[in-house]
Structure 1
Amino acid sequence: MPLPQFNNRPVRSHKRSRFDVVIVILLALGIFAEATANAQAGGVIGATSDVNIRACATLDCQVIGSAALGDSIEITGDIVDGFYPVRWYGREGFVFALYVTPPGEAPTFIEGDDSCNRVALVFNIGIGEEPSQSIVDTLVETKTPATMFPMGWWAAAYPDYLTQLDDAGFVIGTHGDQQLFLTTLSDEAIAEDISNSVSAIEAVIDRDIDQYFTPYAADTDLRVQAIVSSLGLLPVGWHVSANDYGPAATEAGVYDRVTDNVYPGAIIEMHLDGPATEQSTALALPRVIEDLQEDGYEFVTVPELTLPCVV
């Protein structure tokens, strides 16, 4: 019986060399410093490989152009309905603000539009214990979307499990390669770790990863976010954590932390390979899903949560 598909993403061709080339260019040309210099004259496209320029500030408006990762673009006004008004090669238009970096800033996505009751489950993977099959079974059986963030080393260690996640249609981002505190590393070391993770994950799923990143131990800052963005990945954070990564995690603790703190637009962070996962998150998850749905919440993927609510 085929597994349900949780998103309509196209299956892209496997192009691991794209990231290897990007890393070489970033380091050889000093793109991190260059991005800052470019931003002084306007914005820079980041956190994605390319972004559409539209004739008006809605996602269904006519596309009049496409700007690539690292392109400079002039921001001509304040955000309108989630879009920056821009000027690009003499053309006036609008670009989704999440992918335009103004001077002195870096993109990060922590929560969605709060005008509708959408929430997103994310699972950071790479603690190192045996991954939970019951969590995947719950998500599949209840047809609940989720966004997975495996580490690169973990992808190599558990290829069959990662393939199962991808075959089920879950969005697959990256949680970095090794358990490193990125804020303590050099620019080059950060870029290398992320590049290695992408290569390892793509080697298993045989396609480009989805362009989203979560930092190990939530360790991030403006510099890390800028580097991640310049690699074409959107940094993702959260305000609601199940706090389920350690041996003391319990079913009641996970359930209470999520249901007591959830709100419209929330990203809910969980793990599926912790030392107490089967006694905590695996047991709490069915109740979390059922009770939040009864309260009117809709589960969506992170890519879906980045978009405005549809009225």
Structure 2
Amino acid sequence: MCALDRRTLLRGAAAFGGLALAPALGATPLAPTARADDGYDLTAGVAGCGNVSFMFNVGSGFEPAYGILDTLSAYGLSQSMFVMGWLADQIPGLVQAIASYGHPVGTHGYNPPELTLRSDDDISWDIQSGINAVGNALGYYPSPWLTPFASASDWRVRSIANALGQVIVGWSVTSGDWSPDATADAIYNRIVGGAFDGAIFEVHLDSQNSTWATATALPWIIDDLTAQGYRFVTIQQAAGGC
């Protein structure tokens, strides 16, 4: 699998900059018992509902695992997807495909590095540029939910994101599928072993091993956690209560 060429980012951003966007939908209100910390508005859904959710981050730059979209469709599941702006500029068709499967599309910033290492102005630029790029690809504003690159957030990043109307989301359990050494068994064990009521599982649609490791583990995870009584919902639904 080959990484996408990020040297064309500026050309891609210019090419998609002129599309008028429809008004943004309001964020789903967070239930009082949704779990958070200083850097995030949400790190797990409301307990007592039996819900779990995938957080699909998109923007690593490797071959997208379209089979994941087919698997989710086969199970009748809608799950939350968070797309990085540079990728939306380069491959708007991928963003459109994700939306066509019925998945809510949020943002994952515009590009690396971590937001916590950047100035206030650069954080604002990155978040807003990500919103604009994903919105240009979709033809309407994305869901106002943001996952920061590398899960790097703190009170400063959160306050800036909130001022831009974004709900900043963190994970409860990481699959580790971003690692070059990730395997289907390891991804399965991390997620199923770490599952709890309200858990948010971090996975990727386009990491180095998404097309085989993440895609292979996905039905195992869905089958086994469903058998344990969990219900897969979007992060937005998990945050809203039972």
Q: State the TM bucket, normalised to the shorter chain.
A: 0.7 to 0.9
**Largest Rg, 1 or 2:** 1
**Corresponding residue number in structure 1 for 2:98:** 165
Does residue 258 of structure 1 match 2:191?
yes
Q: Deviations over 1:72-105 (max 9, x none)?
A: xxxxxxxxx829xxxxxxxxxxxxx99xxxxxx7
**Corresponding residue number in structure 2 for 1:304:** 237
Letter in structure 2 aligned against 1:231: L
Give the TM-score normalised by structure 1.
Answer: 0.67
* Distance change (3 Å), C-alpha of 1:292 and 1:185: same
More helix by share: 2
In the TM superposition, 1:7-26 aligns within 5 A as 16=21
Does residue 119 of structure 1 match 2:52?
yes
Within 2, Cα distance between the matches of 1:142 and 1:245?
24
SS of 2:53's partner is strand
In the TM superposition, 1:140-155 aligns within 5 A as 140-155=73-88
Percentage of matched positions with identical amino acids:
34
* Distance change (3 Å), C-alpha of 1:143 and 1:50: closer
SS of 2:60's partner is coil
Letter in structure 1 aligned against 2:120: D
Within 1, Cα distance between the matches of 2:27 and 2:65?
35
* Distance change (3 Å), C-alpha of 1:295 and 1:151: same
Within 2, Cα distance between the matches of 1:301 and 1:243?
20
Task: Give the one of 113, 129, 137 matched to 2:70.
Answer: 137
In the TM superposition, 1:48-197 aligns within 5 A as 82=32, 108-197=41-130
- RMSD (CA atoms): 2.4
Task: Give the one of 226, 233, 246 matched to 2:166.
Answer: 233
Within 1, Cα distance between the matches of 2:169 and 2:27?
18
Give the TM-score normalised by structure 2.
Answer: 0.85
Within 2, Cα distance between the matches of 1:177 and 1:264?
31
**Corresponding residue number in structure 2 for 1:287:** 220
Deviation of 1:107 (Å): 5.5
- 8 Å contact from structure 1 (residues 15, 208) kept in 2: no
SS of 2:240's partner is coil
Within 2, Cα distance between the matches of 1:241 and 1:209?
24
- 8 Å contact from structure 2 (residues 27, 145) kept in 1: no
More strand by share: 1
Task: Give the one of 200, 204, 226 matched to 1:271.
Answer: 204
Q: Deviations over 1:38-80 (max 9, x none)?
A: xxxxxxxxxx95899xxxxxx9xxxxxxxxxxxxxxxxxxxxx
Superposed structure 1 runs of 4+ greater than 4 Å apart: 14-19, 48-52
With CA pairs under 8 Å and 6+ residues apart, which has the higher RCO, 1 or 2?
A: 2
Within 2, Cα distance between the matches of 1:224 and 1:123?
21
- 8 Å contact from structure 1 (residues 129, 274) kept in 2: yes
Structure 2 unaligned spans of 5+: 1-18
**Corresponding residue number in structure 1 for 2:14:** none
Letter in structure 2 aligned against 1:82: P
Deviation of 1:172 (Å): 0.5
Deviation of 1:281 (Å): 0.5
